């Protein structure tokens, strides 16, 4: 087990919070999302202590997000979107078409859900074909492959999914959709980071913890795991991301020295 102290002394809550903001894909993936909410999300991505790495939204909002980010003077904030989301069961041709449209609309990054149910049943072929096909479309733009670690559950399956994604060209491996009961966990993070190390792929493949990271302390724990394996210099947006919606408010409160408010509104 990688100790949290591996990141000391830089893992003080305020330092972890500041760093996590710059590594965040600020996310809104709600069924009732609308233009005004996405515009507000883009505004929130520009914070007093630095911008988030990206906003992550449904494909239909990609063009709007791009225009909003440019208009507010933050074109460097990336636009990420999701495909085959959240269930991971769409047909290959449909997912490739969805990806192609998202890229034409201006998406910088694609977060792809693999067919994890097939993988869990022992069939790797659909996942391999999907990752390979989407990466061919993305070219230099980032492909983040969501393995849904909380549903795969077993470390051996999480490792197998991670290795498969890396082998087929993923730029990132990502824990979760945030739409299942168990999302990012320290155990899954350790397994996925170890898979990157096993392949010697740390110079070309990153990691994204999505769902379940709710405080600066938790963010610091994930940063510590990655730094212990790959060094502090690996903790940049090209290699490490958090996917979250409510986390930003917690991090800003930590930096400002306020008591963070829980996601449910309690203290």
Query: What is the CB-side half-sphere exposure of residue 217 using CA atoms within 13 A?
Result: 2
Dihedral of alpha carbons 16, 259, 263, 109, sign: negative
Catalytic residue flag (residue 90): no
Q: Per the residue annotation, which of 78, 135, 144, 174 is the catalytic one?
A: 174
Catalytic residue flag (residue 111): yes
Q: Per the residue annotation, which of 25, 78, 108, 111 is the catalytic one?
A: 111
Give the length of the chain: 267
Q: Per the residue annotation, which of 78, 135, 144, 208 is the catalytic one?
A: 208
**139: alpha, beta or left, given left = phi > 0 and alpha = psi -120 to 50?**
left
Catalytic residue flag (residue 108): no
CB 166 within 8 A of CB 195: yes
Which residues are catalytically annotated?
111, 174, 208
């Amino acid at each position: 087990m990688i100790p949290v102290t591996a990141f000391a002394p830089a893992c003080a809550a305020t330092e972890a919070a500041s760093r996590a903001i710059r590594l965040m894909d600020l996310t809104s993936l709600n069924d009732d999302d609308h233009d005004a909410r996405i515009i507000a999300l883009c505004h929130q991505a520009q914070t007093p202590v630095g911008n988030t790495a990206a906003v992550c939204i449904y494909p239909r909002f990609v063009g709007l997000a791009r225009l909003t980010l440019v208009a507010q003077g933050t074109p460097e904030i990336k636009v990420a979107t999701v495909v085959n989301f959240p269930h991971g069961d769409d047909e290959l041709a449909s997912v490739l078409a969805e990806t192609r449209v998202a890229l034409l609309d201006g998406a910088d990054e694609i977060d792809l859900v693999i067919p994890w149910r097939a993988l869990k049943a022992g069939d790797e072929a659909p996942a391999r074909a999907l990752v390979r096909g989407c990466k061919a479309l993305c070219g230099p733009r980032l492909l983040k492959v969501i393995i849904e670690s909380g549903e795969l559950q077993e470390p051996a399956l999480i490792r197998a999914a991670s290795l498969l994604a890396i082998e087929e060209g993923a730029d990132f491996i990502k824990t979760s959709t945030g739409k299942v009961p168990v999302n990012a966990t320290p155990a899954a993070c350790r397994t996925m980071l170890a898979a990157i190390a096993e392949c010697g792929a740390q110079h070309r493949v990153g990691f994204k913890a999505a769902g379940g990271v709710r405080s600066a302390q938790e963010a610091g724990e994930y940063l510590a795991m990655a730094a212990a394996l790959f060094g502090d210099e690996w903790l940049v947006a090209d290699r490490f991301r958090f996917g979250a919606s409510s986390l930003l408010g917690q991090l800003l409160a930590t930096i400002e020295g306020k008591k963070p408010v829980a996601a449910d509104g309690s203290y």
